[in-house]
Amino acid sequence: MSDSASLSTGTEPEPIKAIPLRHPGRWIAAVVVVVLFGLFAYGAATNPAYGWGTYGRYLFDSRIGEGVWNTLQLTVYSMIAAILLGVLLAVMRLSPNPVLRSAAWIYLWIFRGTPVYVQLVFWGLIPSIYKNVALGIPFTVQFAEFDLQAIYNAFWFAVIGLALNEAAYMAEIVRAGINSVGEGQMEASVALGMSWPQTMRRTVLPQAMRVIIPPTGNEVISMLKTTSLVVAVPFTGEVYGRARDISGANFEPIPLLLVAATWYLVITSILMVGQFYLERYYSKGASRQLTGRQLRALADAQAVDARTHDNKGI
């Protein structure tokens, strides 16, 4: 039955039989990728240079485990300090006070414009630059004096160096998240009688988190890997430093590098899972993707509605 005949009789046309397109190129590409991966895996498994026996012996070594724990502590402490300082810097960047804006901009310019490794080397040399730190009124009275060489702790100086560098990036992330919320949202909250803290907590931050969380998750993962640079402080207690120390004793750097890489990969994978659930939590209501059944129900409802309108027209 033709379409014109179907329209004249008021019956539905015959459904179109859709034939899916074939994509042989996809299968060929998939086979090539699988073959190449299999060849690489076989070559790595049979190559004695990788030292898989040494790899298995040190993968769960107590020294490596302690290094993993120190790496997690460096990541957590540095990120907490970086987030707090980043929020402060973001507020300063958004402040109408030109002095605060300029100070925040200079901070971001310095810490984003110099390599983190150079900054960590500098923090390792702080006790040599400032041997004593005095607190008090300049040129008059000193209330307390600290000997940095006596209280020097490589771990905490590494945390300070990582946090100050990361705060510059977190400030821009937080600022972008706050700016993504329309001014009308804040005006509406104020019109409803909310105070500024209530507006930030109930209106601005929940919406800004959708923009802040994804890049923050990436920054946490990046921070985890950046901890391998704290050897510049120098602090060798994290997982890469421990693996390097062990390889310096047994002269097998390749399997120890694989051990460190494995632990970085495991921790990163766990962080990625956590980031996924956080993003899904804060994206509630932002977008909604219909399932196949919902799409079919919506199409059926639209078809019924169209036939109802046609019948009313007749």
Q: Is residue 22 part of a domain?
A: no
Mean pLDDT of the chain: 82
Q: Which domain holds residue 260?
A: 50-283
Question: Would you place residue 84 in the very low, low, confident or very high pLDDT band (cuts 50, 70, 90)?
Answer: very high
Residue 50 pLDDT > 70: yes
Q: Is residue 33 part of a domain?
A: no
Alpha-carbon dihedral sign for residues 269, 272, 278, 279: negative
pLDDT digits (tens, 9 = 90+) for 167-204: 999 999 988 888 888 777 777 877 888 876 777 777 77
pLDDT digits (tens, 9 = 90+) for 221-274: 999 999 999 998 888 889 999 999 998 888 889 999 999 999 999 999 999 998
Q: How many domains does the chain have?
A: 1
Q: Average pLDDT in the 42-69 region?
A: 90
Alpha-carbon dihedral sign for residues 36, 38, 41, 44: negative
pLDDT digits (tens, 9 = 90+) for 4-30: 555 555 566 677 776 777 778 888 899
287 backbone dihedrals φ, ψ, rounded to 5°: -150, 155
Residue 103 pLDDT > 90: yes
Q: Is residue 258 part of a domain?
A: yes
CATH code of 224's domain: 1.10.3720.10
Does the reported pTM lie above 0.85? Answer: no
More confident of the two residues 307 and 206: 206
Q: Is residue 188 part of a domain?
A: yes
Q: Which residue is it, tokens 């898989």? A: 52
The vertex-275 CA angle with 269 and 278, nearest 5°, equals 150
CA atoms within 13 A on the CB side of 81: 18
Residue 290 pLDDT > 60: no
Q: Average pLDDT in the 44-63 region?
A: 89
pLDDT digits (tens, 9 = 90+) for 130-142: 877 777 777 677 7
Q: How many CB atoms lie within 10 A of CB 263?
A: 21
Q: Is residue 201 part of a domain?
A: yes
What dihedral angle (degrees, nearest 10) is formed by the CA atoms of 304, 305, 307, 309? 160
Q: Is residue 57 part of a domain?
A: yes
Q: Is residue 278 part of a domain?
A: yes
Residue 162 pLDDT > 90: yes
More confident of the two residues 212 and 16: 212
| Residue-level pLDDT at 11 | 64
Question: Would you place residue 314 in the very low, low, confident or very high pLDDT band (cuts 50, 70, 90)?
Answer: very low
Q: H or E stretch including 136?
A: strand 132-136
Q: Is residue 136 part of a domain?
A: yes
